[in-house]
Structure formats: structure tokens, C-alpha cells
Structure 1
Amino acid sequence: MASSVAINSEHTKSKAVNQQQPDNPYMIVRTLASNNAVVLFSMSGCCMCTVAKCLLFGLGVGPTIVELDHHSTGPDIQTVLFQLAKEGQQPVPAVFVGGEFLGGIETLMACHINGTLVPLLKDAVGLETEYPE
């Protein structure tokens, strides 16, 4: 079952392109999660991150991807994700769907296998697939 730690207690409006992101790493995560249907926090050389990307793209979802090793506050964001992850789980990849923290690769794959991922994605992005629910 997916962990659903809410990251957005209130809906925030999209920010203008020229407006800077917040400096607080928690606010960066919260803003990205609440302004995008699916967000994947990743490390560019991580094989499990690649698996998560391939799964989401294979299901027809184009997630917002944040490569933490290329982001100016990547280590601080990773600390926030570590706090959200369950004990013993890796903080990256970290997947947010519909503004809520879904989890890491274990949760993503479990949801895919047990059939709950596609309905979550349908609700978040209007995903239209031929996969059974």
C-alpha cells in the first residue's frame, strides 16, 4: 500500500517562469509536488531512478524530473526526502503523485504490480491507457 504523506496542505498557484524558486528545500519539494501532477526526484547515475523513469514513461506519464546531483540545493532536498522515506528505504528515487508522496522505487513497483499505480496516475494526470485497473 502506498504511503501518502501530504506535502501540500494548500493548493499553490503556478509561479511565473521568471520568479525564483524558494530557498527552503522543504518549500522547493512542496512547490514542485503541488504544481505538477507527477514529480520524480532522481540522481542522474542511479539505476533505480532510471527504472522509475522508464516505468512512468512506459505508462504514458511525462513526470517532472529533478536530478538532485544537478540541482543547486540537491543535497538539502535529498535530506527532506530522507525524512519522508520510510526507515530503511533509500530517499531517491522519490515519487510524488497528485501532490502526495507516493514513495520510492519499492512503493512505485509494488503499486504497479498490485494494480493501484495506474488509477493513481489516471486521477493525477488523466492518464488514458488500455491497462486494466
Structure 2
Amino acid sequence: MDIESSSISSTTPFKNMTPREMVTHLASSNVVVVFSSTDCCFSTVAKNLLFSLAVGPTVIELDRHASGSAILAALCQLSGDTRQPLPAVFVCGKFLGGVEILLAKHINGALIPLLKEAGALWL
């Protein structure tokens, strides 16, 4: 599910939220969330891995979101990383990490059990 600036109108609960509150709300309201940028190859790898596992993450493309730069700043604060923290992957409201963590968990066999436990995967 893609959430872009056009799909979040002034009547949604996001209107009066700070960017950090938006991140927290989206992450806790969806099983798997990927904050991404359409031109980021690392984001593409993370999304493709999740889709290949039959996980349908909620994807927020920050370069297409009206509050994208503010949300990116909030992600930097949450992750403790001042560099670009994309992709930022959340599972069950908890920050999992970026593409490196996602791939490492997949390689060491921890990702599929995590996704099953979260209810994002029914294999």
C-alpha cells in the first residue's frame, strides 16, 4: 500500500500531527511499514525483498509526500542517524532498521520468523 501526499488530505488524522507523531502512528497502525524514496536503490532492495516474501508492507514514498522532508528529519532523530536513514523499516511499530539489517536478518534466517510472529507472513 502506497501512501503519497495526494492520499493524505486535510481531513485525515495526520493534519494536526507532528512528523514524529505521523511516523509513530503509521508504524503502530500497520504490521510492516517502509519509509522510502522512489530514487533510492537501497529502498528498492528492501521493498523488493519484502514483496518477494509475499509481505505487503505499507510504503511511504517520502519524495512524493508533502511532509516528506520533515518525516525524514523525524526518522533521523528516531534512528539516531544523521545520514539519510532510508529505507526505514518498522515491524509491529518497532524500528527494525535499514536495508542492511533487513538483509542480515534474511540471510541469518531471522526475518521470516519475525514476519510470521508479526502476522505479516503466513508461510
TM-score normalised by L of structure 1: 0.78
What count of residue pairs does the alignment treat as equivalent?
A: 112
Change (3 A) 1:73 1:36: same
CA distance in 1, matches of 2:62, 2:120: 27
How far did 1:72 drift?
1.1
**2:121 match: secondary structure:** coil
How far did 1:53 drift?
0.6
Greater share of residues in helix: 2
How far did 1:94 drift?
0.3
User: What is the aligned partner in structure 1 of residue 20 from structure 2?
Assistant: 26
Which runs of structure 1 show a deviation greater than 6 angstroms over 4 or more consecutive aligned residues?
Answer: none
CA distance in 2, matches of 1:110, 1:89: 20
CA shift digits 1:50-91 (9 cap, x unpaired): 100100001110000000011111111111111233547640
CA RMSD of aligned residues (A): 1.6
Kindly provide the amino acid, as one letter, of the partner of residue 65 in structure 1.
V
Kindly provide the amino acid, as one letter, of the partner of residue 20 in structure 1.
P
Tell me whether 1:47 sits opposite 2:34 in the alignment.
Answer: no
TM-score normalised by L of structure 2: 0.83
Tell me the percent identity.
53
User: What is the aligned partner in structure 2 of residue 113 from structure 1?
Assistant: 107
Which runs of 5 or more residues in structure 1 are unaligned? 1-17
CA distance in 1, matches of 2:83, 2:102: 12
Which runs of 5 or more residues in structure 2 are unaligned? 1-10
Tell me whether 1:96 sits opposite 2:99 in the alignment.
Answer: no
**2:95 match: secondary structure:** strand
